[in-house]
Amino acid sequence: MSAAEKEKVNVDSKLSTNKYFVDEKNAHIILKSEGLDMAEFHKLELACPAGLYKMDANGGIKFDYAGCLECGTCRILCGTTILKKWEFPRGTFGVEYRFG
């Protein structure tokens, strides 16, 4: 398969196999609301294993904490630049590995 033929990954459908208890009332990761450094955001587009940091064709950004795997990669890469908050979800909430 050549590079051009490669299928674009659909991470959301993969995440849908996981068990989550989403804390609807409390986002455990929050991006800064303005003046986002897009070079920093791009790092997370590449590195987030859950593909939660997305950009659409018009350059608009999208982030949803609901599919988070709680790995901490975004905190290590951008904790001091574009993240306003990174905490663990409250007790009992978040991803729950059935196999791990």
Partner 1 sequence: MTEESFDFDAIIVGGGIAGTVAAYLLAKEGLEVVLIERGNYPGSKNMTGGRIYSHSLERIIPNFASDAPVERKITREKVFMMTEDSSVGLDFYSGRLGKQGRNSYSVLRSLFDQWLGEKAESAGANIITGICVDSLIVKDGRVCGVVAGEDEILARVVILADGVNSLLAQKIGLRTEFKPRHMGVGVKELIELPRSVIEDRFQCEGNEGTACMFAGSPSDGRVGGGFLYTNQESISLGVVSTMNDLVKGQKSLPQMMEDFKNHPAVAPLIKGGKLIEYSGHMVPEGGFDMMPEIIGNGVLVVGDGAGFCINLGYAIRGMDFAVASAECAAKSVIAASKSGDFSEASLQSYKKYMEECFVLRDMKQYRKFPHFLEDTPRMFSVYPNMAIDIMSDMFVMDGQPAKPLMKKMITHVKKIGFWNLAKDGWKGMKSI
> Angle at the Cα of 64 (from 61 to 67), degrees rounded to 5?
135
**Measured in whole angstroms, how far is the alpha carbon of residue 19 from the centre of its chain?**
16
Closest distance between partner 1 and the C-beta of residue 15, in Å?
6
> Closer CB to partner 1, residue 8 or residue 33?
8
Query: Of how many residues is the chain composed?
Result: 100
Instruction: Report the C-alpha gap between 100 and 96 in whole angstroms.
Output: 9
**Residue among 74, 38, 86 at smallest CA distance from 59:** 38
Kindly identify the residues of this chain, within the stretch 35-54, that bind partner 1 according to CB under 8 A.
Answer: 42-43, 45-51
Interface of this chain with partner 1, residues 2 to 31, rule: CB under 8 A:
3, 6-9, 11, 14-15, 17-18
- How many helices (H) and strands (E) would you count in the chain? 3, 6
90 counts as binding partner 1 under rule CB under 8 A? yes
Does 96 contact partner 1 by CB under 8 A? Answer: yes
Give residues in contact with partner 1 (CB under 8 A). 1, 3, 6-9, 11, 14-15, 17-18, 42-43, 45-51, 69-73, 75-77, 79, 87-92, 94-100
